[in-house]
Structure 1
């Protein structure tokens, strides 16, 4: 009996030993990864990817949302805008909170909130619920987004920072460009709710990775939080964003202009207040803007926002409503944009250090603007999707040339104690640029489209029987001010007793009016973004090539003495 017990005891001992060794090995592996810059970058990229993906993924799901939620057009617009608005308003505040309370903490809290809000968005039963949870999503995104670029700068030494920012740039470019493609696949194969559910596993992985791998948070600022600055900046950004988003809906009436004017007044008060706080931990350190490249890169970021919004808003309607593609096919047609971005994002970061960021940025902005102009030339009713593949790929190449060099230059001279504030300011201005771009591009598209519908209806009235021509033309006089992808169905309604052949001719004519009218409006709309991108190219001419060591050469946390010295230098 004892003879049989011995092997059992021995086997149990061996099993426990193996388990202990395995546990020790796993713990050793985790310890090696904890604080590893590349492991941290991987986690940051997942969080960054989710937030930027959600800026563009919703657009292509709008038709499905309209049908399933019985949402009005105004509600659909707010489903998109609530996210952008919350993101724009809170970015500067969140960036500064990261400096104060630890970027690791803000990143984890932001990802957790974003993930829970994504689950709530997917479970929403009516438009009001979805709008509310989209706003909460924006709050979570605002908490985590400034920490990504800031942490990359903090944890990577100078010699490796260019490559790291190249990866960051790839994620930035691909995530936004991939939104319509991923969204189209999810909507077609599953359901619109899955454009939100897809964030849940990514968010869980991200939170776990951050908790395990990120080093303990280090407070690089040991003074008070600028509460008045937070309130003033948030009110100013909210009033500006709200006015721009709602302006077209209310015909830019008095109270809309009042909101914009109030934003300017509050913004002025904020700047005056900040001027008096520069020696007392301000929310926006003015010293950041003494660096010419920091200021110019922020304008370039706004120009890129105009290019992206200027593309996605009209191209989504063009592919689905004019060419009649499904959400999946429209998303696949836009795939070359992501491919082009992936091709150039990495090399752009390396070339920027060798030949100068200004030249890479100028190349990228030129390619992006050239691609938009190319689409203007080839887009037409009845054209094949093959006509837009090459310009979309060219635009992707251009996008890939912008994010990494821009991120490198905007953060190059920022002292370690201000990286969170600088990242927050940069991201906030880019999101305000997106809101501004949406308002301007949307206003031009809607205004030109309404005019083009009337002109096209008058030209094509001869295609319908004489008895129906007057009502046909009049049906387009009150063209809707806001577009959606169901717009082709908004043509004239023929009486039920209308002969089938006549009803068919009227509907065919109405479809032609919509298609050609949209093409007529699409050209001037794209031209707006081309113009802003051209201004971005010109601004790059004034970028100075950096000489000497960067402000934070090692990317390491500073001691109290170094913090004091950095504060004095600032």
Structure 2
């Protein structure tokens, strides 16, 4: 998901057999924060950089969509398998290899002589992120206990949100000053520090007794999701469904069905155990996450793009315009987590998306001539307030909706679903990105109303599928 924030369950620590407090806890926390910040920064700064990258490569509408989705696709499809590989082969090892791959791919992005090489490097970045993100969090879970674990995970999530918040403005400043390639070179010193600290101070951990990763499921999920994304991207960019596009969509659907068949055969050893979907609450929360975070991911792409292309904003100003979203979510989420623990997640997860829907509807006032304070800020404040109400209760609700044995998988899957929602939303936005000037603004207004409908649907799903009882607290918190 291309947002300036961690995913909804990125901050939910999975259960772990290790309970011994590790030495050098602050350096371990710093390593995990630096590692995960690579993915959070990259996922947010590209929204501001897209117009400049598109111009530099002379990219078509569909190619511009792949600038974002080439990263999000492997991250969404392989996030769970990355965590499983860390359990089996060592979390420190997989995390460090993921950082190294991400860094090498970042340098290749900056130096890419063609769009094809650039997109390949973006895909390698996504693969590296799928390796480092789940294992940075799992390393925290293995290295801290009790209240210390809760504080460590909370700090990890908060700093990740701050990094993602600052990144668009910093990236815009780099684009305005020395050019877009330097937003990728920014990753190099961060990664070097993470590797140096991780190599020296992070203890190895894992769960070698777990079954082998579900490689067949991972391959089917990646290729199937890729085919669906490719077909939807080509369809939305051209405005019509061609024979090749339709064949890609059909192949994606067929591969997705094959994925479900494989997961059913593997049972409890599957990448996505289907037994989790025996819970109506979990099914509802999965749909809720897909719709709400799909709408949010679409907005985070389109808003800075429209501000730059139609509103005449500089990349720096467009990045600064997004600051209210992560700030309000970061400030509001802790208290909403406590409230949801007392009253249950049903009402927060119904009310939050209603505010988000109102914000999307109000975004139709954003235009080429409008003032930021009267046209852009009010809908952004509503969306931010709604997400602040929903983010923490969603994490609690997901962990409460499945058996304890599935808690880690459920949190990882929910995070992957959030990113997949953004992936599909971006694939469908070609009809907006292909427009210019006033036509771009009009298409953005139509997309904003569609996003409002998705947010309303997510509110209805939460209200009808969640019970009225209190939720148990997420694992790893006091």
2:251 is aligned, of 247, 250, 262, to: 262
Q: Aligned partners of 1:123 and 1:314: how far apart in 2?
A: 26
Q: Deviations over 1:431-451 (max 9, x none)?
A: 2211211133444x36xxxxx
Q: CA 1:78–1:179 in structure 2 vs 1: closer, same or farther (change >3 Å)? A: same
Specify the alignment match of 1:98 in structure 2: 86
Q: CA 1:177–1:359 in structure 2 vs 1: closer, same or farther (change >3 Å)? A: farther
2:452 is aligned, of 496, 510, 530, to: 530
Specify the alignment match of 2:466 in structure 1: 543
Q: Aligned partners of 2:197 and 2:455: how far apart in 1?
A: 38
Equivalent positions of 1:6-155 (< 5 A) are 34=23, 36=25, 40-151=28-139
- The answer to whether the Cα contact below 8 Å between 1:414 and 1:422 also exists between their aligned partners in 2 is yes
- The answer to whether the Cα contact below 8 Å between 2:87 and 2:205 also exists between their aligned partners in 1 is no
Specify the alignment match of 2:5 in structure 1: none
What TM-score, normalized to structure 2?
0.84
SS at structure 1 position matched to 2:267: coil
Equivalent positions of 1:25-424 (< 5 A) are 34=23, 36=25, 40-151=28-139, 157=145, 166-167=154-155, 169-171=157-159, 173-219=161-207, 221-250=209-238, 251-278=240-267, 281-376=269-364, 378-387=365-374, 388-412=376-400, 418=406, 421-424=409-412
Shift of 1:68: 4.1
Q: Aligned partners of 1:533 and 1:90: how far apart in 2?
A: 26
- The answer to whether the Cα contact below 8 Å between 2:174 and 2:183 also exists between their aligned partners in 1 is yes
Q: Aligned partners of 1:181 and 1:354: how far apart in 2?
A: 37
Q: Aligned partners of 1:153 and 1:374: how far apart in 2?
A: 41
Q: CA 1:375–1:553 in structure 2 vs 1: closer, same or farther (change >3 Å)? A: closer
Shift of 1:409: 2.9
Equivalent positions of 1:480-491 (< 5 A) are 482-483=434-435, 487=436
Equivalent positions of 1:423-502 (< 5 A) are 423-443=411-431, 445=432, 482-483=434-435, 487=436
- The answer to whether the Cα contact below 8 Å between 1:298 and 1:426 also exists between their aligned partners in 2 is yes
Q: Aligned partners of 2:456 and 2:161: how far apart in 1?
A: 20
Q: Aligned partners of 1:328 and 1:549: how far apart in 2?
A: 42
**Which range is displaced more, 335-344 or 358-367?**
358-367
Shift of 1:208: 3.0
Shift of 1:527: 0.8
Q: Deviations over 1:13-56 (max 9, x none)?
A: xxxxxxxxxxxxxxxxxx986373x6544433333332133223
Gaps of 5+ in 1: 1-30, 447-481, 488-513, 556-570
Specify the alignment match of 1:519 in structure 2: 441
- The answer to whether the Cα contact below 8 Å between 2:217 and 2:263 also exists between their aligned partners in 1 is yes
Larger radius of gyration: 1
Q: CA 1:65–1:336 in structure 2 vs 1: closer, same or farther (change >3 Å)? A: same
Q: Aligned partners of 1:303 and 1:175: how far apart in 2?
A: 25
Q: CA 1:284–1:123 in structure 2 vs 1: closer, same or farther (change >3 Å)? A: same
Shift of 1:162: 5.8
Q: CA 1:341–1:550 in structure 2 vs 1: closer, same or farther (change >3 Å)? A: closer
Shift of 1:225: 3.6
Q: CA 1:290–1:85 in structure 2 vs 1: closer, same or farther (change >3 Å)? A: same
Shift of 1:109: 1.7
Gaps of 5+ in 2: 1-19
- The answer to whether the Cα contact below 8 Å between 1:166 and 1:348 also exists between their aligned partners in 2 is no
- The answer to whether the Cα contact below 8 Å between 1:96 and 1:420 also exists between their aligned partners in 2 is no
